[in-house]
């Protein structure tokens, strides 16, 4: 299985000699988004610039309706870009693709499939040349990683919300994307389940180090998971307001983070931003 994963190792355009090597994975330049409305155009984002490095975990916070989902779905290629551009490893994106895995707020599993089939749906697509057994191994490996080794053959509709979102995480990691996009993936869960899923996510992320961009409303979640927390200004014409570096070493545990001297300083910074 590992050979399969390695064969599809990150195709790094910046290493092909044409461009200087760079650590930038995701680059948003002068990004603009306009929604036409009956009352005229509504400019959600304007001149938004953001660079995200390889192996970086970035969380995004901002007031409701400021345009976070809009930005993320544009990166995913599911939403048209009105101006500026988005590039992954130096090349502009054109539409959606499996190089950018998405974990949606709703688990969005196919309810008529089992958890294994849901993960395989992506794996089959991304590793068409692997044997059936290899693809099964990949899917099962990631389902195990998210703690679902006993639920391979359970119908998605029979799983709890939290378990469904675990399958969503497995599905996203199993296709080995270059960038992982998460839009409030735990927003619909109770706080206990949310904590468990954060742990699962960070555990699997520590292993895979896939560049991740995650929207959240939860300040503690933003700090716990991120290398940098990006704060967006309120719309219309939202842009990046501030960026906070989180200097905790990895791997982190909730306990060490909460006990760290800087924790409340970070927390205050974010809350001050949101309250103004």
Ligand X SMILES: Nc1ncnc2c1ncn2[C@@H]1O[C@H](COP(=O)(O)OP(=O)(O)OP(=O)(O)O)[C@@H](O)[C@H]1O
> Which residue of 37, 40, 129, 247 would you call a contact of ligand X, by CB under 6 A?
37
> Residue 137: CA atoms inside 13 Å, Cβ hemisphere, count?
11
Is there binding between residue 64 and ligand X (CB under 6 A)? Answer: yes
Q: How far is 110 from 67, CA to CA, in rounded Å?
A: 27
Which window, 10-18, 44-52, 148-156, 258-266, contacts another protein (CB under 8 A)? 148-156
- 112 sits near another protein (criterion: CB under 8 A): yes
- Minimum CB distance to another protein smaller for 39 or for 153: 153
Interaction between residue 24 and another protein (CB under 8 A) = no
| Size of residue set near another protein by CB under 8 A | 26
Pure H helices in the chain: 2-7, 68-76, 115-126, 132-145, 161-174, 191-208, 219-225, 254-259, 263-274
**Phi, psi angles (nearest 5°) of residue 42:** -115, 115
- 118 interacts with Mg ion by CB under 5 A: no
Q: Is 42:35 a contact under the CB 8 Å cutoff?
A: yes
Q: Which stretch binds ligand X (CB under 6 A): 3-11, 36-44, 193-201, 240-248?
A: 36-44
Instruction: Tell whether residue 161 is a contact of another protein (CB under 8 A).
Output: no
* 60 near ligand X, rule: CB under 6 A: no
If one asks whether residue 44 binds ligand X (CB under 6 A), the answer comes out as: yes
Residues in the chain: 276
Question: Judged by CB under 6 A, which stretch of 62-70, 134-142, 147-155, 251-259 contacts ligand X?
Answer: 62-70
Positions 200 through 229 that interact with Mg ion (CB under 5 A)? none
d(CA 233, CA 129): 45
Token pair listed for 121? 């749906």
Q: Are 77 and 94 in contact (CB under 8 A)?
A: yes
One of 69, 118, 164, 211 touching Mg ion (CB under 5 A):
69
Catalog residues that contact ligand X under the rule CB under 6 A.
35, 37, 42, 44, 62, 64-70, 235
């Amino acid at each position: 299985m590992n050979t399969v994963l390695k064969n599809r190792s990150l195709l790094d355009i910046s290493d092909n000699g044409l461009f200087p090597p760079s650590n930038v994975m995701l680059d948003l330049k002068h990004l603009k988004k306009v929604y036409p409305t009956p009352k005229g155009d509504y400019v959600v984002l304007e001149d938004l610039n953001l660079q995200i490095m390889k192996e970086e975990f970035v969380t995004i916070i901002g007031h409701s309706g400021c345009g976070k989902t809009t930005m993320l779905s544009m990166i995913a290629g599911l939403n048209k870009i009105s101006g500026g551009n988005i590039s992954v490893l130096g090349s502009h994106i054109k539409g959606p693709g499996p190089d950018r895995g998405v974990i949606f707020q709703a688990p969005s599993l196919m309810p008529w499939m089992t958890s294994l089939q849901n993960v395989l749906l992506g794996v089959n697509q991304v590793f068409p040349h692997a044997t059936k057994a290899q693809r099964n191994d990949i899917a099962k490996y990631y389902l195990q990683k998210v703690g679902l080794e006993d639920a391979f053959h359970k119908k998605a509709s029979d799983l709890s919300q939290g378990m469904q979102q675990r399958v969503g995480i497995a599905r996203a990691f199993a296709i080995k994307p270059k960038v992982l996009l998460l839009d409030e993936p735990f927003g619909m869960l109770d706080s206990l389940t949310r904590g468990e899923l954060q742990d699962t996510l960070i555990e699997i992320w520590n292993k895979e180090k896939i560049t991740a961009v995650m929207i959240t409303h939860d300040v503690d979640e933003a700090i716990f998971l991120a290398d940098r927390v990006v704060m967006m200004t309120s719309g219309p014409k939202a842009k990046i307001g501030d960026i906070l570096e989180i200097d905790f070493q990895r791997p982190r545990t909730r306990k060490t983070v909460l006990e760290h001297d800087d924790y409340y300083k970070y927390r205050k910074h974010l809350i001050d931003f949101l309250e103004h």
